[in-house]
Amino acid sequence: MIDFENASYLKLKKTKDDTYSSIITPMFVDGEQIIATYQSIRDGVVFTNKRIMAVNIQGITGKKKDITSLPYSKIQAFSVETAGVLDMDSELELWFSGLGKVKFEFTSNCNVAELCKIISSYTL
């Protein structure tokens, strides 16, 4: 499992939904589909209609991958911070029962309202 305290899920930017599809779709349950995909240099976060999947590409060759499944049903609270004048990135913090806080940072042009709407639609 990804160590979210030390993981660098920083500066995620919106990317094509098929970026990680070959890695994660074999793990999908019936009816699951990708809603939004965000990528840093190699790592990424995929929002589906069932969960958030954090993809950690490891090693020099990138053949080793760690995928953490974060179900919406386990989210107890979440916080979104928009970009400002000097602080140019947006942040999403999620609190999961049994896991604690998970934090993702996005580029300033990321639509955090869209993320908020996605999470709200599956948790409220």
In a domain, 89, yes or no: yes
Q: Do the domain assignments include residue 4? A: no
pLDDT of residue 33: 96
Q: Is residue 116 part of a domain?
A: yes
In a domain, 33, yes or no: yes
Q: Strand 100-106 and strand 51-58: pairing?
A: unpaired
The three-state secondary structure class of 46 is strand
- Model's pTM, two decimal places? 0.87
Assign residue 88 the CATH number of its domain. Answer: 2.30.29.50
pLDDT confidence band for 110 (50 / 70 / 90): confident
Written as six digits, the tokens of 110 are 């990321």
Residue 47, pLDDT score? 96
Tell me the pLDDT band of 3, cut-offs 50, 70 and 90: low
Tell me whether residue 77 is in a domain: yes
Give, in degrees to the nearest 5, the angle at Cα 68 between 63 and 70. 155
Model confidence pLDDT, tens digit, residues 27-79: 999 999 999 999 988 889 999 999 999 998 887 877 888 899 999 999 999 99
In a domain, 8, yes or no: no
Q: Is residue 1 part of a domain?
A: no
Confidence of residue 87 (pLDDT cuts 50, 70, 90): low
Structural domain count, the chain: 1
Task: Tell me the residue range of the domain where 47 lies.
Answer: 13-123
45 in a structural domain = yes
Q: What is the pLDDT of residue 69?
A: 93
- Token pair of 87, please? 């602080």
pLDDT category at 85 given cuts 50, 70, 90 is low
